[in-house]
């Protein structure tokens, strides 16, 4: 997100626009927690993880009174337009503001990668690489000690992170919320692998399916391993961004300002087939992104 904040600020400043940052998202907006953004204040942040503006959930913004108060706060501070970086919850709030006449452009940022209107959201690639680095270390332990590891990654409602990471690390099984769990198929495959001499196994589990401890309990007695569990949790959300994410964030941040200068509002910017595109902001949640069936088939073929 810092790379995107930098791109928004510097593109706006390039066009002689004044820029302010809003700390703690919509909560900071309602409280008037604003800070000027200058060329120097966003210098050196491009490779820093997290966000210099910080973030927070805001229950008040989920009610009409909170949204109307936000509109008033923007007018009081002579803020003409808003760039919102976040997931579909943030975008729903942005759509409410746009419907009330606020000029708004959204930049998709979530490690879940579950928003339509873009092939990839800011943060997804970095989270995948972070998870992959952790799992590669577990592979060494699994093979050395004849272990089966269940690695729980983030993804409450979407399995994109589990699927991408699982394919990259060569997991034998990838369990995602979009598909039912077949415990018999898992145990049968583990038995088959054991018979041909395989001594370790790896399951990548999306948190939206069930907790890793629950899956381990269900697999006990069904396979020839005593499952070990690792929950990566918020490790996946931090750290310096990958090259891909830094470039993506920079392109989308700059494109958001271009959209506002062009008089467009109530839209999101995204990257589709390598090109930066604009879409109605509500497409982020009205259109459903689905897992790539070719990737799912790849898991089945490569994990034999």
Interstrand relation of 148-153 and 228-231 (parallel, antiparallel or unpaired): parallel
Q: Which of 88, 112, 125, 245 is catalytic?
A: 112
Q: What DSSP line would sit under 78-105, residue for residue? A: T--EEEEEESHHHHHHHHHHHHTT-EEE
Q: Which long-range contacts (CB under 8 A, 24 or more apart) does 292-296 make?
A: 292/163, 295/163, 295/164, 295/167, 296/163, 296/179
The radius of gyration of the chain's CA atoms, rounded to the nearest angstrom, is 22
Q: Give yes or no for a contact between 76 and 82, defined as CB atoms under 8 angstroms apart.
A: no
Catalytic (active site) residue 112: yes
DSSP assignment, residue 240?
Answer: P
In sequence order, what E strands does 207-298 have? 228-231, 267-272, 275-280
Q: How far is CA 207 from CA 139, 143, 292, 302, in A?
A: 20, 24, 19, 23
Sign of the torsion angle spanned by Cα atoms 56, 62, 63, 67: positive
Looking at the DSSP assignment, which residues form a beta bridge with residue 177?
none
Q: Give yes or no for a contact between 112 and 158, defined as CB atoms under 8 angstroms apart.
A: yes
Catalytic residues: 112
């Amino acid at each position: 997100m810092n790379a995107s904040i930098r791109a928004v600020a510097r593109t706006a400043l390039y066009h002689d626009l004044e820029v302010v940052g809003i700390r703690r998202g919509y909560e900071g907006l309602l409280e008037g927690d604003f800070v000027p953004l200058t060329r120097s204040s966003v210098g050196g942040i491009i490779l820093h993880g997290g966000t210099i503006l910080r973030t927070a959930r805001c229950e008040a913004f989920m009610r009409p009174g909170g949204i109307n108060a936000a509109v008033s706060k923007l007018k009081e501070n002579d803020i003409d337009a808003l760039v919102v970086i976040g997931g579909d919850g943030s975008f729903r709030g942005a759509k409410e503001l746009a419907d009330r006449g606020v000029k708004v452009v959204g930049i998709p940022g979530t490690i879940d990668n579950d928003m339509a209107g873009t092939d990839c959201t800011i943060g997804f690639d970095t989270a995948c690489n972070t998870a992959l680095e952790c799992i590669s270390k577990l592979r060494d332990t699994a093979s050395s000690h004849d272990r089966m590891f269940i690695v729980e990654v983030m993804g409450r409602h979407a399995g994109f992170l589990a699927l991408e990471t699982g394919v990259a690390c060569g997991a034998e099984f990838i369990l995602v919320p979009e598909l039912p769990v077949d415990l018999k198929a898992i145990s049968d495959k583990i038995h088959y692998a054991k018979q041909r001499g395989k001594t370790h196994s790896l399951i990548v589990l999306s948190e939206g399916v069930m907790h890793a401890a629950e899956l381990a309990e269900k697999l006990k007695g069904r396979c020839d391993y005593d499952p070990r569990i690792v929950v990566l949790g918020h490790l996946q959300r931090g750290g310096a961004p990958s090259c891909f994410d830094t470039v993506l964030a920079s392109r989308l941040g700059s494109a958001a300002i271009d959209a506002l200068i062009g008089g467009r509002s109530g839209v999101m910017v995204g990257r589709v087939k390598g090109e930066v595109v604009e879409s109605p902001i509500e497409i982020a949640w009205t259109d459903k992104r689905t897992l790539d069936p070719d990737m799912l088939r790849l898991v089945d073929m490569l994990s034999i």
